[in-house]
Amino acid sequence: MKNFDELQLSKDLIKFPSITPIDAGAINYLSKKLKRLGFNCKILEFKDKKNPAIKNLYARIGNKQPNLCYAGHTDVVPPGNIKDWSVNPFKPVIKNNYLIGRGANDMKSSIACFLSAVSDFLKNNKKINGSISFLITGDEEAQAINGTKKVVDYLIKKKEKIDFCIVGEPTNPNKLGEMIKIGRRGSLSCNLEIEGNQGHVAYPHLSNNPINSLIAICRKLKEKPLDKGNKHFQPSNLEFTGIYVDNKAHNVIPAKAKTQFNIRYNNFHTAASLKKMIISTIKSICKKNKIKFKIEFLTSGDSFLTKPGATIQMAKNIIKKITKINTVYSTTGGTSDARFIKKIAPCLEFGLVNKTMHKVDECVSLSDLKKLTKIYNKILIEYFK
C-alpha cells in the first residue's frame, strides 16, 4: 500500500467526528501528515464573540510562484438519526465497493485524494517549479465566519499570493467527470416587516392593514423576472420562503405582517444593486400606503465567474482522459468557500459525486477515489511542467 493511500486517508479523516463547527482533531491530523511531506504548516485559530474558535490550516511547500492551492473543509454536517444509517457514520465501512461514512464525498475523501496525489507528485519531483498549498477550514458547513473568509484576509495581510485554486467540493451530480464549477451564484436573504395600525375589522378606514401592503410588495417583487440568465448562468430567482402574521382573531386587523425571501442571483447583479432595487420597490408602495417598514438583509456572497482559461481547459482535458466524460462548466448549486477565495485567486471546483452528500449513508465509490487522485496528480504534473 502507498504511504499516503487515498482510501486509508479518507477512512482516517472520517473517523474524526468533526460535526460542524467541532474540529475533533481533523486539522491537526492533516497538519501532521503535511509536515511529513515537507510542508510548512500554520494552524490559524479564529473566533468572535458569537461563535466558538475555529481551527483552520494553511500549509505550503516551496517558496516560488506560481502557488497552486487546494481548498477544502474538514467539518461535516450532522449525521441526523444514527439509527437510520446502515453503519456508524464515524466508523467508515466498505460495502459493495463503496466507502460509507459522513464526509465520504463532502468532502474528506476529496482532501484525501489531493493529499495522496501531492505525495505521489513530490516523490517524482524533488523540485517544484512553484509551490503547492492547502487551505483547509473547519467552518464551511455552518456559519463560515471564522473559516476561509478569515484565512483569506490573513493571506492578504501576509502578502501570500495564490495563483490558482482548486476547491475540492463534490461537483458531479451522478458520475465523476461530469461537472466542473467555474463560478457560483450569489445569495441574498431578506427579512421584511410592515408596521401598520391595529384596529377593528368593521372599521378598516380607522386602521392601516399591513397585510395589504405586504401582498402588494410581494407581487411587485415577484412579477418581473430579474433577468434571463446568460451563457454561464441560469436566470436569477427571487423566492419567498415565509409569510407571517401573528393574529388568531377574525375581527382584528393586525399591526404587523412579515415576510422572508431569498434571491439566488447571477453576475448581472450584486448584493448592493439588488438591495437598492428591493428598497426602492418597498419604499414606493409604503409611501403610497402611508405605512412603515423594517428591513434586514443577510448576504452570503456575491456571484462570481472564473473565465475558463488555460488551467481550466487543462483540467477539463485531464478529466476527459481519465473518466472518458466530456465535462461541462457550471455555476449551479449552492454557495461554497470559493466565494471568499475568488478575492485572491481564480478558482475551479472539482471533486467527487455529490448524490449522497448530507444524506444518510453518504458514500463514495472506491474507483472514484482512485480516479480523482489520478486527476489531481495529472493536474499537478501539467501545472508545474
Q: Please, what is the minimum distance in Å from the beta carbon of residue 109 to Zn ion?
A: 11
Which residues sit opposite 305 in a β-bridge? 183
Q: Please, what is the minimum distance in Å from the beta carbon of residue 111 to Zn ion?
A: 10
Q: Which parts of this chain interact with Zn ion (CB under 5 A)?
A: 106-107, 169
Task: Specify whether 48 is catalytic.
Answer: no
In single-letter form, the type of residue at position 119 comes to S
Main-chain phi, psi angles of 60, to 5 degrees = -140, 140
DSSP-H helix ranges across the chain: 6-14, 26-36, 108-124, 148-157, 210-223, 271-288, 310-323, 338-341, 366-383
Given 3-state DSSP classes, what are the helix, strand and coil percentages for the chain, each rounded to the nearest 5? 30, 25, 40
The CA-atom distances, in angstroms, between 228 and each of 185, 235, 236, 331, 381 are 14, 5, 7, 15, 40
Joined grid coordinates for residue 100: 460509507
Give the C-alpha separation, 107 to 80, whole Å.
17
Closer residue to Zn ion in complex, CB, 149/378 = 149
Closer residue to Zn ion in complex, CB, 108/371 = 108
- Residue in the shown chain whose Cβ atom is closest to Zn ion: 106
Closer residue to Zn ion in complex, CB, 160/169 = 169
Q: Please, what is the minimum distance in Å from the beta carbon of residue 104 to Zn ion?
A: 12
Catalytic residue among 139, 140, 169, 362: 140
**258-294 burial string, b = 16+ CB within 10 Å, else e?**
bbbbbbbbbbebebeebbeebeeebeebbeebebebe
Closer residue to Zn ion in complex, CB, 38/80 = 80
Residue written as cell 448581472? 268
Catalytic residue among 6, 75, 139, 368: 75
Closer residue to Zn ion in complex, CB, 225/334 = 334
Q: Do residues 186 and 265 lie in contact, with contact meaning Cβ atoms separated by under 8 Å? A: yes
Closer residue to Zn ion in complex, CB, 107/190 = 107
Joined grid coordinates for residue 329: 462548466
Main-chain phi, psi angles of 125, to 5 degrees = -135, 90
Task: Specify whether 140 is catalytic.
Answer: yes
Q: Please, what is the minimum distance in Å from the beta carbon of residue 320 to Zn ion?
A: 24
Q: Please, what is the minimum distance in Å from the beta carbon of residue 354 to Zn ion?
A: 9
Which long-range contacts link 279-287 to residues 24+ away (Cβ below 8 Å)? 281/217, 281/220, 281/221, 282/192, 282/217, 285/213, 285/216, 285/217, 285/220, 286/194, 286/213, 286/217
Q: Please, what is the minimum distance in Å from the beta carbon of residue 141 to Zn ion?
A: 6
Residues with a catalytic annotation lie at 75, 140
